[in-house]
Amino acid sequence: MKLTILVDNHTLIDEYYLGEPGVSYYIEDGENRVLFDTGYSEVLLLNARRAGIHLEDLTHIVLSHGHNDHTNGLRFLQETIDLSRVTLCAHPHCFLPKYDGEEFIGAPYNSAEIARITRYTPTSGVRHLSERLVFLGEIPRGNDFEARTPIGTTIVEGRVEADTLRDDSALVYQNGEGIFIITGCSHSGICNIIDYAKKVCGEEHIHGVLGGFHLLEDSSQLDQTIAYLKANRIDAVYPCHCVSLLAKAKMLAVLPVQEVGAGMFIEINT
């Protein structure tokens, strides 16, 4: 598997890509070409072009959840590329309206619209995209230290509800020697995601964890998350997007933290 960071808040020194507060990763696995999240703007397209990546070859799009910093790039992608043959995998709540007060923060399309643009099948459970790539679906939330604070509101069957991000999910690559976990914002809790990935894949060894962990403050949750990650003896930790500098600094003191930025790539042997 080869994974290229196409969109992140940060860029790397001497790598002349654009950054924005969003997420998009391009994953090559055998014949599969998977785009995990789409960022917020046309930055996805510009960085892909610079990296020599042909998004016309996409076989799958996977969305971690429905916030616009992960989905709004769909609009720019759709205007440029025919997505009618691309399989789109996301939780059914991903395309529900989402608001922060009066501000709309959801995906640019609803479920009916995205189904006309892509091959979209709502997926709340585990789904194997290939022999090695697994979409986790809705994540069980078992760790009591991971925050369940709603972010804004959503509209479910005509009712306005506090949005606990049931649609938050992750992708897992498994190669027979362990797993590599790919997240968007980890609103369901990065430790909950890891627990579920290990259970679904029947693996204990973790090659790496990449993504936003939604850790912004110096808190008990941060301390317990660091302790959990250390106990799991993860080979490499790639915190990005919605992880503060303070949180990264505390992680770096005890964990094998790696720098992340647009344009970098990660390879895991099959």
Q: How does the average pLDDT of the chain come out, rounded?
A: 97
Mean pLDDT of 74-95: 98
Sign of CA dihedral 32, 136, 48, 6: negative
Tally of domains within the chain: 1
What is the rounded CA–CA span in Å between residue 204 and residue 137?
Answer: 20
pLDDT above 90 for 165: yes
pLDDT above 90 for 269: no
pLDDT above 80 for 129: yes
What is the rounded CA–CA span in Å between residue 201 and residue 259?
Answer: 27
What pLDDT is attached to residue 237?
Answer: 98
In 3D, which of 253, 258, 266 has the Cα closest to residue 240?
A: 258
| Planar angle of CA 92, 94, 131, nearest 5 degrees | 70
- Phi (first) and psi of residue 122, to 5 degrees: -55, 135
What is the rounded CA–CA span in Å between residue 64 and residue 84?
Answer: 20
Q: Residue 193 is encoded by which pair of tokens?
A: 């995601």
Tell me what percent of the residues of the chain surpass a pLDDT of 70: 100
Provide the domain limits for residue 75.
2-267
We report the CATH number of the domain holding residue 222 as: 3.60.15.10
What pLDDT is attached to residue 203?
Answer: 97
What pLDDT is attached to residue 147?
Answer: 75
* Residue pLDDT, tens place only, 169-226: 999 999 999 999 999 999 999 999 999 999 999 999 999 999 999 999 999 999 999 9
| Planar angle of CA 61, 169, 15, nearest 5 degrees | 60
pLDDT band of residue 149 (cuts 50, 70, 90) is confident
In 3D, which of 48, 73, 268 has the Cα closest to residue 171?
A: 268
Burial class (CB in 10 A: 0-12, 13-18, 19+), 230: middle
pLDDT band of residue 270 (cuts 50, 70, 90) is low
The secondary element (H helix, E strand) that includes residue 28 is strand 24-29
* Residue pLDDT, tens place only, 16-50: 999 999 999 999 999 999 999 999 999 999 999 99
What pLDDT is attached to residue 148?
Answer: 78
Q: Decide: helix, strand or coil at residue 160.
A: strand
